[in-house]
């Protein structure tokens, strides 16, 4: 018997090279560099159930240049002593789910849509350094839900947005609205003027988009948690990560949370699916379960509704999207990560320049309003259906965890 899951993978379309060719890349706030699968790659997917895959070919672009070890950018992604001046800069990235990509760095032209009017776009371009993937492992080599690569939107100098900002092309601010109901959504670089969001400060010493979590409410009850429940050493607080599918919590948080949710449903009998997911038989309305609300600094709250934290595996069986433990810093402390499950159906704004993150509930199939920096004009941006959220018959649930594991790179957990 197969199990049917309904999860979403959100990705965007960009152009690379001269002439420009389209690539579909996962948008990931938990990592930094952009990389795409390259021609001749080992263990790269050849086809996908989502999109037609396009391997990047350095020789087919007249503007492509390799990046040498002597380039300052190389030190961001490669700190190995054997990388000598004159040699091509290699990169290796390992992700939190055990997947990895390696290859070499390339500099080429990137082509993006530019908002020119209400629901109208033109084009703009810039130069960016990115990874040319020559070997993949883990889920990155799977073909079922494959895209062409990953576009890192972290805070470091090597990230996609930081590179464009250093050229004066954009400001270091972006937003996404992930539509978990209809698929697709919005991803925009620049200032969002509507809807308005309430913001909470980013933690200054974190390599990721981390914010301070003060409390968790289940319905009208506040969970009783220890004062250091979300203390993970140098990377304190909660990480906001669009490249991670579910929500990962320390045991000291996960157990009280589940117990409080289940207190209103003592009739449920729990069982485990795939050795990872806590599930139960249920045929009643989901709104009989409580809303879970995360409370942050500056009185900012994030509500996760039952339809968001529960997913259906059979007609009469549901599972929790909360995951306990498993993700740790290099020092062994547990990480708390709010992934797409908690971020969907909300406009989430990352203002790197002012070091704040904000969000508000929003119908992501509708539009948002953005400000043109040059003219000051305000335009409406509509949603696009560049995501995959159809049900799949699969034998293993593909949950993505994007946070980087330190491996010859300058990002450390």
Per-residue pLDDT tens digits for 181-221:
877 788 999 999 999 999 999 998 888 999 999 999 999 99
Residue 397 has a pLDDT of: 34
pTM tops 0.95: no
State how far the alpha carbon of 164 is from the alpha carbons of 159, 189, 190, 332, 413, in Å: 9, 10, 12, 35, 25
Answer whether residue 308 shows pLDDT above 90. yes
Residue tagged 């082509």 (tokens): 111
Answer whether residue 115 shows pLDDT above 80. yes
Rounded Cα distance between 21 and 55, Å, is 10
Q: State the pLDDT confidence band at 399, using cuts at 50, 70 and 90.
A: very low
Rounded Cα distance between 311 and 229, Å, is 26
CATH 2.40.70.10 in the chain: give the residue spans.
3-189, 196-361
- What tokens does 70 get? 């002597």
Residue with the bigger pLDDT between 350 and 79: it is 350
Determine if the peptide bond prior to 392 is cis (ω within 30°). Answer: no
Q: State the pLDDT confidence band at 393, using cuts at 50, 70 and 90.
A: very low
Answer whether residue 394 shows pLDDT above 70. no
Q: Residue 389: which residues within 8 A CB-CB, separation 6 or more?
A: 6, 7, 8, 9, 180, 183
Residue 306 has a pLDDT of: 97
Please check whether the domain covering 3-189 is classified as CATH 2.40.70.10: yes
Per-residue pLDDT tens digits for 75-106:
888 766 678 777 999 999 988 778 899 999 99
Rounded Cα distance between 151 and 275, Å, is 31
Residue 113 has a pLDDT of: 87
Per-residue pLDDT tens digits for 214-269:
999 999 999 999 877 776 555 568 999 998 889 999 999 999 999 999 999 999 99
Residue 8 has a pLDDT of: 61
Per-residue pLDDT tens digits for 131-190:
999 999 988 887 677 899 999 999 999 999 999 999 988 889 999 998 888 777 889 999
Which residue numbers are catalytic?
28, 241
Cβ atoms of 135 and 103 within 8 Å: the answer is yes
Count of residues making up the chain: 413
CA 27, 29, 34, 39 torsion: positive or negative? negative
Q: Using DSSP bridges, classify how beta strands 378-381 and 368-371 pair: parallel, antiparallel or unpaired.
A: antiparallel
Rounded Cα distance between 334 and 293, Å, is 21
Residue 176 has a pLDDT of: 93
Q: State the pLDDT confidence band at 392, using cuts at 50, 70 and 90.
A: very low
Answer whether residue 391 shows pLDDT above 50. no
- What tokens does 130 get? 């990115």
CA proximity to 69, closest of 82, 59, 56? 82
Residue 232 has a pLDDT of: 57
Answer whether residue 71 shows pLDDT above 70. yes
Cβ atoms of 294 and 302 within 8 Å: the answer is yes
Write the class of the CATH domain 196-361: mainly beta
Q: What's the average model confidence in pLDDT over 282-301? A: 96
Answer whether residue 130 shows pLDDT above 80. yes
Per-residue pLDDT tens digits for 376-389:
899 998 887 543 33
CA proximity to 326, closest of 399, 272, 251? 251
Answer whether residue 401 shows pLDDT above 80. no
Q: What's the average model confidence in pLDDT over 312-335? A: 81
**Gyration radius from the chain CA atoms:** 21
Q: What's the average model confidence in pLDDT over 16-32? A: 93
Q: State the pLDDT confidence band at 410, using cuts at 50, 70 and 90.
A: very low
Q: Residue 263: which residues within 8 A CB-CB, separation 6 or more?
A: none
Rounded Cα distance between 175 and 197, Å, is 11
- What tokens does 395 get? 């034998």
Residue 182 has a pLDDT of: 77
- Per the prediction, the chain carries an average pLDDT of 85
Rounded Cα distance between 260 and 255, Å, is 9
Answer whether residue 363 shows pLDDT above 50. yes
Beginning with the edge strand found earlier in the chain, give each strand of the sheet holding 191-194 in spatial order: 191-194, 368-371, 378-381
């Amino acid at each position: 018997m197969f199990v049917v899951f309904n999860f979403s993978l959100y990705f965007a379309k960009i152009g690379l090279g001269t002439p420009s060719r389209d690539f579909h890349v996962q948008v990931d706030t938990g990592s930094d560099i952009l990389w795409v699968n390259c021609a001749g790659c080992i263990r790269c997917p050849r086809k996908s159930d989502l999109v037609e895959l396009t391997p990047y070919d350095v020789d087919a672009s007249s503007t492509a240049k390799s990046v040498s070890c002597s380039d300052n950018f190389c030190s961001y992604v490669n700190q190995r002593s054997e990388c000598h001046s004159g040699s091509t800069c290699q990169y290796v990235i390992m992700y939190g789910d055990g997947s990895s990509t390696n290859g070499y760095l390339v500099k080429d032209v990137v082509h993006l849509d530019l908002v020119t009017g209400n629901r109208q776009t033109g084009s703009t371009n810039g130069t960016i350094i990115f990874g040319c993937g020559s070997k993949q492992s883990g889920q990155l080599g799977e073909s079922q839900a494959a895209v062409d690569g990953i576009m890192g939107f972290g805070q470091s100098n090597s990230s996609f947005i930081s590179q464009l900002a250093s050229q004066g092309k954009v400001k270091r601010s972006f937003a996404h609205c992930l539509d978990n109901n209809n698929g697709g959504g919005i991803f925009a670089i620049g200032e969002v003027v509507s809807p308005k969001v309430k913001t909470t400060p980013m933690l200054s010493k974190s390599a990721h988009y981390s914010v301070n979590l003060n409390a968790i409410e289940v319905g009208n009850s506040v969970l009783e948690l220890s004062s250091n429940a979300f203390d993970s050493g140098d990377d304190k607080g909660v990480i906001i990560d669009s490249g991670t599918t579910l929500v990962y919590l320390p045991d000291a948080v996960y157990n009280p949370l589940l117990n409080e949710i289940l207190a209103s449903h003592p009739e449920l009998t729990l069982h485990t699916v795939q050795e990872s997911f806590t599930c139960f038989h249920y045929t009643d309305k989901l709104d009989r379960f409580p809303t879970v609300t995360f409370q942050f600094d500056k009185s900012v709250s994030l509500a996760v509704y039952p339809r968001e934290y529960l997913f259906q595996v059979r007609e009469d069986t549901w599972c929790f999207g909360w995951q306990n433990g498993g993700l740790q810093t290099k020092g062994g402390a547990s990480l708390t990560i709010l992934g797409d499950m908690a971020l969907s159906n909300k406009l989430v704004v990352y203002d790197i320049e002012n070091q704040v993150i904000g969000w508000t509930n929003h119908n992501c199939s509708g539009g948002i309003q953005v400000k043109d920096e040059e003219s000051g004009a305000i335009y409406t941006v509509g949603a696009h259906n560049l995501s995959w959220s159809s049900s799949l018959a699969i034998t293993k649930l593909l949950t993505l965890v994007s946070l980087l594991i330190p491996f010859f790179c300058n990002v450390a957990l």
